[in-house]
Amino acid sequence: MSYSISNRRIRLSPQARALTREIVLTPQKMIQPLFVVEGIKSREPIPGLSGADNKGTFRDTTESVLKQIESDLKAGVKSFLLFGVPDSKSENNFKYDFTANQIASIRKQFGQDVLLSVDVCLCSYTSHGQCGILNDSLDHVVNGATVDALAKCALAYAQAGADCVAPSDMMDGRVGAIRRALDEHKLENTLLMSYSAKFHSGFYGPFRVAADSAPKGEVKLKDRATYQIDPGNPSDALRSSLRDADEGADILMVKPGLPYLDVLAQLSAEIPLPWAVYEVSGEYAAIELMAEKGLINRERAHLETWTAFARAGAQIIITYGARHAREWIKTL
Ligand code: PBG
């Protein structure tokens, strides 16, 4: 043979690898979550997320969150997902002002430099930590009343200046109800990103500390199994995502990420909308904690995970590491 077939030539130098690589990561395709907490005096670390170097994700105050966004913009991050954690909790009478005021102050300070998405759920607002309003026997989240509250919540956030509202509660019909409420109030340009394939996962631990949203108290309902998708039921994820697309969602999501790559690949091939994936707190923290123990290289593990998300079909990656992405990508 006078020529040599090689799969190695494209692997031999960093330049050749970069040139031939199919998946190119960039912070522009990433969303950085932020937590803003009412009534705290200074920012608080989140176990597993704040990083050994303290440059990770914190429970921010109304002031520190603005400084955080400023520094994230300098790091090339332009999209954020805000979680508001109000001080006072209730069973069915929620006030959205704390989060709405925060949205307005972010908008005022940063104008159109940021794309601000806001998580819409009641789990940080309820006294029992469930994602909605309970029935009288405290063993079931009532769908209709919860959807009404969520639509009001989303409307308040959009009116305060959110570019995108992101319902994560998993009630039936909330996407349609929110879309209608927005359209009726001339907010037809507000984006709606649905957590359409959100599973009942064991990987949400650090988040529930951050958002003060773990199921708690003297109620019969102890977990979220009656509204989040069963991990063994990918068809439910497909049906729920088709329905949310039908009800007017602009962006769909799979959550968590790594344990559901198969779902992401299948659903993104089937439904032609932009797909986001949420690398949730527990899966992010697993990498951080292994790296702290010296068992793996932190940057490499995060970059490899994000590459897997893009390969499986995600256009958008929601990750606590978005603010590190530009630096870490340089190490590729
Ligand atoms: C609220 C919500 C959750 C997350 C985002 N929105 C957690 C939950 O359902 O308890 C998880 C995010 C993460 O773990 O990083 N319903």
Determine the distance separating the centroid of ligand 1 and the alpha carbon of 292, expressed in angstroms: 24
Structure tokens of 241? 């995502």
Q: Where are the beta strands (DSSP E) in the chain?
A: 30-37, 44-45, 58-60, 79-85, 115-120, 164-167, 191-198, 251-255, 275-278, 316-318
For residues 276 and 318, is the Cβ–Cβ distance under 8 A?
A: yes
Domain boundary assignment for the chain: 24-329
State the distance from the centre of ligand 1 to the C-alpha of 21, rounded, in angstroms.
33
Does ligand 1 lie within 6 Å of residue 306's CB atom?
A: no
C-alpha pair distances (Å), 191 with each of 4, 105, 115, 162: 52, 19, 10, 9
What residues are annotated to the active site? 198, 255
The counts of H helices and E strands in the chain are: 11, 10
- C-beta 316 within 6 A of ligand 1: no
Residue 37 Cβ inside 6 Å of ligand 1? The answer reads no
pLDDT of residue 1: 66
Residue 107 exposure: Cα atoms within 13 Å on the Cβ side = 17
Per-residue pLDDT tens listing for the chain (332 residues): 689 999 999 999 999 999 999 999 999 999 999 999 999 999 999 999 999 899 999 999 999 999 999 999 999 999 999 999 999 999 999 999 999 999 999 999 999 999 999 999 999 999 999 999 999 999 999 999 999 999 999 999 999 999 999 999 999 999 999 999 999 999 999 999 999 999 999 999 999 999 988 898 888 999 999 999 999 999 999 999 999 999 999 999 999 999 999 999 999 999 999 999 999 999 999 999 999 999 999 999 999 999 999 999 999 999 999 999 999 999 88
State if residue 309 touches ligand 1 by the CB under 6 angstroms criterion.
Answer: no
pLDDT at res. 218 = 83
Structure-token pair, residue 263: 């779902």
Pairwise CA distance, residues 74 & 36, whole Å: 20
Any bridge partners for residue 126, and if so which?
Answer: 90
Instruction: Please report where in the chains the tokens 């109800």 appear, as a residue.
Output: 177
Cβ count within 10 A of residue 117: 25
Q: In the beta sheet, which residues pair with residue 166? A: 119
Ligand 1 touching residue 194 (CB < 6 A) = no
Output the pLDDT for position 219: 87
Under DSSP, is residue 201 helix (H, G, I), strand (E, B) or coil?
coil
Mutate to test the pocket of ligand 1, among 82, 165, 168, 224 (most ligand atoms within 8 A of CB): 168
Closest CA to 79 of 220, 251, 198, 293: 251
In ligand 1, the atom with minimum distance to the C-alpha of 124 is 1
pLDDT at position 332 is 85
- Cα(313)–Cα(302) distance, rounded to whole angstroms? 17
Smallest CA separation from ligand 1 atom 5, residue: 168
Rounded to whole angstroms, the Cα distance separating 245 from 235 reads: 15
The token pair that represents 277 in the structure block: 């994936």
Q: Does domain 24-329 have CATH number 3.20.20.70?
A: yes
Tell me the β-bridge partners of 165.
Answer: 118, 192
Pairwise CA distance, residues 287 & 90, whole Å: 35
Cα of 208 from ligand 1 centre, angstroms: 7
Measured from the Cα of 131, ligand 1's closest atom is 16
Q: Is 117 in the pocket of ligand 1 (CB under 6 A)?
A: no
Minimum CA distance residue for ligand 1 atom 12: 280
